[in-house]
A and B are shown apart, each in its own frame.
Chain A
Amino acid sequence: MRLSSKTIGWTIIALLIGGHLLAAVVVTSQTPKRQRQVQDHDYLGGWDNIPSQERLRLADKHLKWGIPASWNDTGRGKTRLLYRDYKQVTGQDYQPRTQEGSPSCVGQSVSAAIDILATTQIMAGAPERAPPARVDASVVYGLSRQEVGELGRAGGGSLNLWACQAVHRYGVVFQQDYPLLGVDLTEPSPKRCVEYGMQGVPDSLEHVAGLHTVKEYIFINSYSQLRDAIYNGCPVVVGSKQGFGRGKKHKRDRDGFLSPPRRILFKSVWRHSMVIIGVVDKDREGVLVLNSWGTTWVKGPQRFDDSPDGSFFVDAAIIDKMLKQGDSYALRGFTGFPKR
């Protein structure tokens, strides 16, 4: 039997529709698997899912500091890698944090930003010495959720805005023993993050935290603002839903960049906060992002051989989209430890 051209046409259309339906079924069936995969690998975020407009409203309401005029365009065409200041001051490479099973990315990223900030301002001439230890993330996370966000025991996660307000109002404590208070924060602990996140931080620590506050948190919502902030020694925390890589495969390209998935089938969503500690505003423009998932979650070459493990470059256009989600801040002016 000979088939008419009409029949052939309808067959092709039916096949196309069938193909699309099949793809939709595959995507839907894969979604729970991807979520499980993320949890299996402790790739948890914890950045809250408040609608963008609400975040912008919150930012507008609380923002006290604008971009300093002296920053304008200072970073254009420049390279600045803040982790090198940390190495210079402490003599050690900056090791990425590990949030493990806790949704404390906001606490981790803001704490890492302050670790770096403390050293960049020393390199800029502040009469201070390096802090005795790294900033404790569980206290930042707990203060952001309970004292600022007033979340009670609800859920997990926080906002960068709340964490920035927390370190500005209450300050930070360090990963060390506080024997008089009966609190030993020497070892970072995801369990303590969850505990402080749910129940709040002990009152005693709040007073001690007051000795070391961050003076300013500056709202950043474009790549150029970010570039100038980094160039002027201020790390930036960025909160967004932007994901990178495909499932478990996180491999930097030969330039050291990690990119979002290329196709709809591999859509990746991270409700996550990370800290930006470097910028290169020439050739392939991008920023260096430091994650809080330890050292081994991402592989592939680094743009600079001395970059911290667990960090990756992100293209300027991608980071600009992330900043537009409205919860990114540059930290400036940490009250550190005076020189002895």
Chain B
Amino acid sequence: MRGTLIGKCITGLVLLVATGVIIADHMYANNYIDFPNTKLAATSEERAGLPDFVEVGELVRLNVEGEQVVWKCLPDHPDYESYGAENENLVISFRDPGVYTIIVASYLDQRVELDTYRIEVVGEAIETVTKTPVVLGELESLVIEWCKSSDMSPRVADSLAEVLQASAVENFEDTSTLLKLTAKRTRDMEVEDFMGQMTAYVMRQEEEIGKSLTVEQYKDTWNRVARGLLKYATL
């Protein structure tokens, strides 16, 4: 009799727990929601007026309404700037004559609006101006500053100048070998901080001229840095 009662109790409890689990699972089950794709709309009517053609170098302003506006110029063109809370304004000028297409995308009334502008540019091409590297005097001053901030001793500065000058007179086929050899030669000199500043300088210079330095340009830089180091060593 006792066994029967205990058995019933246990069975009841098991059933209770199982029911709870099923109910909980059902409560937590996620309902499937079909998510609609974003709709692409036809050409917007909210476009600004635009002349038929513009001169090379002339400034063109465009404006659209909408949220999170994205501008794109084809063929790709560097002389443009977008601004405004939603990037809704664009200012662009062209260096070369030709036909350009500007595409603009924006959200408007919960839809993506796409718009295109065809611009014909006339006139003579403007020669691209390449920024010249900084002059010798500036780099020498920078090197002295780097030496001071690195707390470099005159003896180490002298040794480092020697290493750079030695690298600058060797024949290299590619810049990577020059850089690796210079790094190897300076490894035990504890001039990490200085080398970091020098690397950052070179990388910034490359950004300014828009391309990587050649072996000769590197060697020229090494020589100029060496002269700055020697000047610091004699201060």
| Interface, chain A (partner B; CB < 8 A) | 1-3, 8, 11-12, 15-16, 19, 70, 74, 77-79, 123-125, 127, 177-182, 202-208, 210-211, 231-233, 253-255, 257, 259, 262-263, 280, 283-284, 303, 337-340
Given the complex of chains A and B, what is the CA–CA distance between A207 and B107 in angstroms? 41
Tell me whether A338 and B207 are in contact (CB under 8 A): yes
CB within 8 Å for A124 and B82 given contacts A207-B199, A211-B200: yes
* Segment of B46-54, B119-127, B181-189 in the binding face: B181-189
Given the complex of chains A and B, what is the CA–CA distance between A127 and B195 in angstroms? 30
Tell me whether A2 and B82 are in contact (CB under 8 A): no
| Interface, chain B (partner A; CB < 8 A) | 1-2, 5-6, 9-10, 13, 24-25, 28, 30, 32-33, 35, 38, 67-71, 78, 80-82, 85-87, 90, 107, 110, 176, 179-180, 182-184, 187, 192-193, 195-200, 202-204, 207, 210-211
Tell me whether A262 and B33 are in contact (CB under 8 A): no
Least CB distance, A307 to chain B, in whole angstroms: 12
CB within 8 Å for A3 and B200 given contacts A127-B80, A182-B183, A262-B28: no
Which residue from chain B places its CB closest to the CB of A125 in the assembled complex?
Answer: B82
**Interface SS of chain B:** helix
Given the complex of chains A and B, what is the CA–CA distance between A205 and B197 in angstroms? 9
CB within 8 Å for A179 and B176 given contacts A124-B70, A203-B193: yes
Which residue from chain B places its CB closest to the CB of A283 in the assembled complex?
Answer: B33
Given the complex of chains A and B, what is the CA–CA distance between A70 and B195 in angstroms? 43
Tell me whether B1 and A3 are in contact (CB under 8 A): yes
Tell me whether B203 and A211 are in contact (CB under 8 A): yes
Least CB distance, B182 to chain A, in whole angstroms: 6
Given the complex of chains A and B, what is the CA–CA distance between A295 and B136 in angstroms? 51
Residues of A within 8 A of B33 (CB): 255, 283-284
Tell me whether B24 and A263 are in contact (CB under 8 A): yes
CB within 8 Å for A207 and B35 given contacts A179-B176, A231-B68: no
Q: Which of A19, A78, A210, A255 contacts B32 (CB 8 A)?
A: A255
Tell me whether B13 and A180 are in contact (CB under 8 A): no
Q: Write 19 A-B pairs (CB below 8 A) sorted by A numbering.
A: A1-B2, A2-B1, A3-B1, A11-B6, A12-B13, A15-B13, A16-B13, A19-B13, A177-B176, A179-B176, A181-B196, A182-B183, A203-B192, A205-B196, A207-B196, A208-B199, A233-B68, A262-B25, A284-B30
Least CB distance, B168 to chain A, in whole angstroms: 14
Tell me whether A127 and B24 are in contact (CB under 8 A): no
Tell me whether A78 and B107 are in contact (CB under 8 A): yes
Which residue from chain A places its CB closest to the CB of B83 in the assembled complex?
Answer: A125
Given the complex of chains A and B, what is the CA–CA distance between A187 and B184 in angstroms? 21
Residues of A within 8 A of B80 (CB): 125, 127
Given the complex of chains A and B, what is the CA–CA distance between A181 and B180 in angstroms? 8
Tell me whether A254 and B30 are in contact (CB under 8 A): yes
Residues of A within 8 A of B68 (CB): 74, 124, 231-233
Additional A-B contacts beyond A210-B200, A255-B30 (12; CB < 8 A): A2-B1, A70-B85, A74-B67, A78-B107, A125-B71, A179-B179, A207-B196, A211-B204, A233-B68, A262-B24, A262-B25, A262-B28
